[in-house]
Amino acid sequence: MAEKPTPYEDLSWIRNDGLLPYTDPRPSDGIGRWEYWTNDFKKAFSVAGEAGTPFSYAKKNGSTSWSDTATFGDDSRLKLIDYDSGTDSGYVTFTMADGWQGMFYLYSDNDDFFDDNIKENYIYGKWSDDDPHIEEIGEAVNDLEDEGWPAVWVQSNAEYTDSRAITGLDSGDYMSFDIDDESPNAAQARIRIGGDDYLSNTAQDTHMWITCIYLRKWNADYIWEPEDPDDPDDPEDPDDPEDPDDPENPCPAGQELNEYGICVLVTPPEPEVCGDGFIWDPDSASCVPIIRPEDDITGAEMAAVIAAVVGVIFLAIKVV
């Protein structure tokens, strides 16, 4: 079984020039795949704790609101609203369920908040408001893929009233923010990955937005259909000059594809019981006639032998 990829693998569908349909790379052994959450971020909150949903626990309260994004769909962004008097500010906390992963884009009105409070395993990148949003997201995702899991991307050129971060969460990881430190149910600022806290626990005292980029679950029991050996888009297409000569069998010599598209050793056929005068031939996997020594003599050769015998008899009679 293929090992489960990290949150920063298999994200080629998040490109600098836009989003492609979710891709689902085929593991080398043909077993296991990602299943993406097709509902929105808001729905994932409302069903948290139920079997087969992304969050084992999720809670928000105080002043919050949901909004749509052009890039990631309806209700994909949660806003935590800052109130200085009369009304509680927003807070949120959520934990990834077993087998699930997610990636999130964080934006704070607190100047340099993430830059000032990031503690470990982070990489810096610049953000330009003059460029398309998805282009900046795509570049940050590429940086995270290059850095490897785990890591947090942090904006290095935040100015005046903004600060950004992008990070992924794996099973059991969680995120928690309490704008004004008013709730005992949430940390002031926490991104916990693998048991490590990546932020100093400091209240922002400003508005904050959390955008869900994706939620997905690894299905380790999924078995892929065998690949089409004649697929022209398949880089391993056996019709390619560099591939094996047999287009029906792209496996090495002595191997063949099984029902899952995996190369396995060829099992020799069981010998059959042949009739009189026949014998089992493993090379052709069939019964073939038994060839005796006399069967190897051609008709011409047999005629020559007979002529020689006749000649010897004639000479013997003549001498007598």
For the chain of 320 residues, list the mean pLDDT of each consecutive stretch of 10: 82 90 84 91 96 95 95 95 88 96 96 92 92 94 94 89 94 96 92 96 95 93 79 51 53 64 64 74 74 52 51 46
Do 302 and 194 share a structural domain?
Answer: no
Residue 65 maps to a domain: yes
Q: Do 78 and 178 reside in the same domain of the chain? A: yes
Task: Single out the residue of 104, 90, 70 nearest to residue 173, CA to CA.
Answer: 104
- The reported pLDDT for the residue numbered 294 is 46
The residue out of 204, 222, 240 marking a domain boundary is 222
136 shares a domain with 203: yes
Which pLDDT belongs to residue 312?
Answer: 42
User: Residue 229: inside a domain, yes or no?
Assistant: no
On whether residue 230 sits in a domain, the answer given is no
Domain that holds residue 25: 14-222
Is residue 6 one of the residues assigned to a domain? no
Of 222, 237, 263, which one is at a domain's C-terminal end?
222
Is the same domain home to 184 and 310? Answer: no
Contact 175, 57 (CB under 8 A): no
For residues 145 and 289, state if they share a domain.
no
Structural domain contains residue 116: yes
Same domain, 24 and 126: yes
Whether residue 169 sits in one domain with residue 34: yes
pLDDT value of position 306:
52
- Assess whether 157 and 66 both reside in one domain: yes
188 with 286, same domain: the answer is no
Tell me: do 66 and 201 sit in the same domain: yes
Report the pLDDT value the prediction gives residue 273, as an integer from 0 to 100. 76
Does residue 8 fall inside a structural domain?
Answer: no
Tally of domains in the chain: 2
pLDDT of 286 reads 78
pTM of the model: 0.71
Identify the pLDDT of residue 310. 46
| Residues 34 and 160 occupy one common structural domain | yes
Within a domain: 228: no
91: Cα separation from own chain's centroid: 33
Among 181, 199, 222, where does a domain finish? 222
**In this structure, are 209 and 314 located in the same domain?**
no
Residue 315 has a pLDDT of 45
